[in-house]
Amino acid sequence: MRVFVTGGAGFIGSHVVEALLQRGDSATVIDDFNDYYPSAFKRQNAAILARHAAFRLVEGDIADRRVIRETMAAAKPEVVIHLAARAGVRASVQDPFLYQRVNVEGTLNVLDAMREIGVRKLTFGSTSSIYGLNAKIPFSEEDPVPSIVSPYAATKLAGEALCRAYHHLHGLEIAALRFFSVYGPRGRPDMAIYQFTERILRGEPIPFFGDGSSERDYTHVDDIVSGVLATTTRPFGFEVINLGESQVTRLSALVALIEDAVGKKAVLHHLPEQPGDVPRTFANIDKARRLLDYAPKTKVEMGVPRFVEWFRRERAHAPAAC
């Protein structure tokens, strides 16, 4: 299968591309290597993928309509996996216009290139942040989402709406996957598990927002990849599907897990809750189980020690990333 992957040198993207290549598919990746975090991280990911003969990398911006159209036309994909985006709730509060340009216009560019070229099948990487301040738990795809609290979440919901419109108007088959707090090897350095591990090892204070009672459904990247790959081989009209672990972990408990894995106590730098943050994420994954045979295997109690082991081996002696 020929697959076109946007954001394929990033955290989730590089794992997805690696799994595609191991499955025997070919993958054309477009990534802009932007400065949201040090581009060296993505360059390292791309170098790992470049060992495969069926991997092709194009450096380009999804917000450039011409580049997306020409790159996709040359790749002649059977499936598109759209993972490129500006990520991060807090950064979106600081620069919402950038998030609108990349996440909304970029998604529209991908969809319209597919329409023009004749590619019918898309997997779209969305986010649990769309659920916002939803009080009903666990979060279901059928829940209304009137309480979005960040520009990042708003741009991802707009992306889902564009996907739905292109399915209705042009018959594209689309699975929009709402990812829940993904972590694991090659993780983004701005994410909590990465930051906490790095700073505890260095003996530096960790940013500890609120009273530690916030909860997240931390999902290992291996489980996310299994869900993404399942969408590429199954027929869809238009579906929104949660991909999470369906288990919540308090911030204070997460810190304790990392402390145990590192073998050092954390120094907490207490900070107020941040604008755009939500108190809880918790995935109902019944739909993913039914449509994708999704069965997450890595509980956070297993995944955190595995991440710390990877960090010690691959990152502990590198310069601080954040």
Task: Specify whether the CB–CB gap between 274 and 235 falls below 8 A.
Answer: no
φ, ψ of residue 128 to 5 degrees: the values are: -70, -15
Please list the alpha-helical segments (H only) found in 149-239: 151-170, 192-202, 221-231
**Strands 173-179 vs 55-59: parallel, antiparallel or unpaired:** unpaired
**Strands 249-250 vs 215-216: parallel, antiparallel or unpaired:** antiparallel
Task: Specify whether the CB–CB gap between 38 and 189 falls below 8 A.
Answer: yes
- The candidate with the shortest Cα–Cα distance to 137, out of 244, 228, 289, 64, is 244
Burial (0-12, 13-18, 19+ Cβ within 10 Å), 174? buried
How far apart are the C-alpha atoms of 304 and 254, rounded to whole Å?
9
E-only strand ranges, 13-74: 26-31, 55-59
Contact partners, residue 274, CB within 8 Å, separation at least 6: 89, 90, 209
φ, ψ of residue 220 to 5 degrees: the values are: -70, 145
- The candidate with the shortest Cα–Cα distance to 257, out of 299, 202, 297, is 299
Task: Give the DSSP H/E element, type plus range, for residue 247.
Answer: none
Q: Which of 152, 183, 194, 218 is catalytic?
A: 152
Contact partners, residue 144, CB within 8 Å, separation at least 6: none
183 labelled catalytic? no
Task: Specify whether the CB–CB gap between 278 and 131 falls below 8 A.
Answer: yes
Q: Which residues are annotated as catalytic?
A: 152
